[in-house]
Structure 1
Amino acid sequence: MREAIVAGGLACRIGQCLLGLLLLGPAASPVQAEETAAGTKRLTFLDHESNPLQRATAEILTSAYERMSIEVVVEFFPLRRSAAVVNAGQYDGELFRVAGAEKKFPNLRMVPTPLGENDFAAFAVRAEVKPTSWASLQPLRVGAQLGVMQVEKRTQGMNVVFEPTLDSAFKLLKLGQVDVVVASRMTACEHLVRLRGSDAGYAGIREVGVLESVPIYHYLNANHADLIPRLDEELKRLTSNGYIAAVWRKASISGRCER
């Protein structure tokens, strides 16, 4: 069962209606749990774009919820605002975040079993730029995407330029306006492969090291807290039978910087 995207009343499969998503933008009206024509429950979760992390977590959650007779729908929404609208009850949950989102957004409930790990990596052009930890970024000009909570937390007090998209952060790096870009490794690599295909100027950008590996978790609005015990059991089952590991092995192929 593949996840669908719904935007402004248009339903489609991931990768088949990105243009429609861009034209329609985020849905203006609240999206809450609803029943399908078959009588099953449908939940709508948010993420900001199609990338290896999004596709892997959507596949895992689709399998887990399917055993609970719940259909999963994924809608793309600006990263900076997604947690806030889920917190307000306008959507059913977030596909994934790192632990701690509930401290800032009290109506979010974290499902305890992790979906996997997110590697945060540094990317640079100059050979002498080789950060090995968050602290080693201190003397550098850093570029990053706005709304990535872990990056915002780890780079507090540093010289950081936050851009609305990862592509625009990489453009700053290409132009020499920042020394390094920090981002989710698999997501950044997929962006880089695409950018290199259309502009040779990105060929010099390389991954220079993983700064941190962080578990990622599924979040639900508090209205769906009753689903967490059963969902957590399903995620534990998918962990123990090797399904989740297999999904991440597949995702790691599309998340390579060199192809």
Structure 2
Amino acid sequence: MNSRFSTLLLLINLFFSASCFSHQYRLTFNRPQSSPQADYALELLKLAYADIGFKIHIIDFSRKNALLAANNGVLDGQLGRDISVEQNYKNLVRVNYELFKFDLILYKTCLPNKLEQLNSIAIVDAYPVQERYLTNTKFSGSVIKVKSISTQLNLLAQQKVQGALMVDFAATNSAAFESKSCFQKEVLASYPLYHYLNKNNKNLIGKLEKSLTNLTNNGTVYALKAKYGLHF
């Protein structure tokens, strides 16, 4: 009887120890909007984390609030962001490995046809790079912040704004832009995207960078790019 009881206690202890162990080696991030670029980056990071003994846990979380949550430690970081987040989110530490480059693109009316001549522009609030770009170019028109790319394009099609600024990888799966009026698409700039961790996890950065470099050198990165049809 004592032997069975001792065995039962041992199994219970092992169960809870395993649970704690698994929780300790799991990092939580918000789910990115699906696109070939985002899916590629997620699979690459899963491999890199597995290499150092960690597992990525993805949850549904408001994209608008994800940066603040990552900065405050509610999330363990951000899967992919450009360096514009470093200005206002000081607790996020960059993993110095370029996941991919993305374009900042502008859909605009044909006339006027220069950014500084537009009197209004729509941006998605979840991507700080858009607002930073407008600030650096000293855009003097009205900036309308919305929650989605489809809203941006609808405002443009209805001529309620003269431009819509967006990142190309987020725009990949958006509905095709249709309008009877004249519109143009312009690439304004290209930026690298990086993985960010909350400062509480900064001890992992060196290991991650080494793992990502190894995945590049052994051909895994090349194979993943081919899998998702990427050529950057």
Normalising by structure 2, we get a TM-score of: 0.77
Write out per-residue CA displacement over residues 198-225 of structure 1, whole angstroms, 9 at most, x where no aligned residue: xxx4687976121111011101111111
- Provide the rounded CA distance (Å) in 2 between the counterparts of 1:243 and 1:208: 34
- Name the CA shift for 1:224/1:48 in 2 (closer, same or farther; >3 Å): same
Cα root mean square deviation, aligned:
2.6
Partners in 1 of 2:163 and 2:226 — Cα distance?
Answer: 27
Name the residue aligned to 1:180.
163
* Alpha-carbon distance between aligned partners in 2 of 1:108 and 1:74, rounded to the nearest angstrom: 18
One-letter amino acid matched to 1:215: P
Residue correspondences, number: 206
* Structure 1: unaligned runs, 5 residues or longer: 1-33, 131-135, 254-259
Asked if structure 1 preserves the Cα contact closer than 8 Å seen for 2:84 and 2:129, the reply is no
CA shift in 2, pair 1:171/1:248, >3 Å: farther
Instruction: Kindly indicate whether residue 141 of structure 2 is the aligned counterpart of residue 151 of structure 1.
Output: no
Task: Tell me what 2:26 maps to.
Answer: 42
TM-score by length of 1: 0.70
Among the aligned pairs, what percent are the same residue?
25
Separation of aligned partners in 1, 2:224 and 2:117: 38
Give the corresponding residue for 1:12.
none
SS at match of 1:153: helix
Residue pairs, 1:67-78, within 5 angstroms: 67-78=51-62
> Which shifted more, 78-87 or 244-253?
244-253
Q: Which runs of 5+ in 2 are unaligned?
A: 1-19
Match of 1:210 in 2: 187
Residue 96 (structure 2) aligns with? 112
Return the letter of the residue paired with 2:186.
G
1:3-55 C-alpha deviation (Å, 9 max, x unpaired) = xxxxxxxxxxxxxxxxxxxxxxxxxxxxxxx743xx88211112453333322
- Listed as ranges, the matches of 1:1-259 within 5 Å are 35-36=21-22, 41-124=25-108, 126-128=109-111, 136-140=114-118, 141-156=120-135, 157-158=138-139, 159=141, 160-193=143-176, 201=178, 208-251=185-228
What per-residue deviation string (whole Å, max 9, x for no partner) do you get for residues 149-195 of structure 1?
A: 110101125322111111111110111111221111132131134xx
Letter in 1 for 2:157: K
**Bigger Rg over Cα:** 2
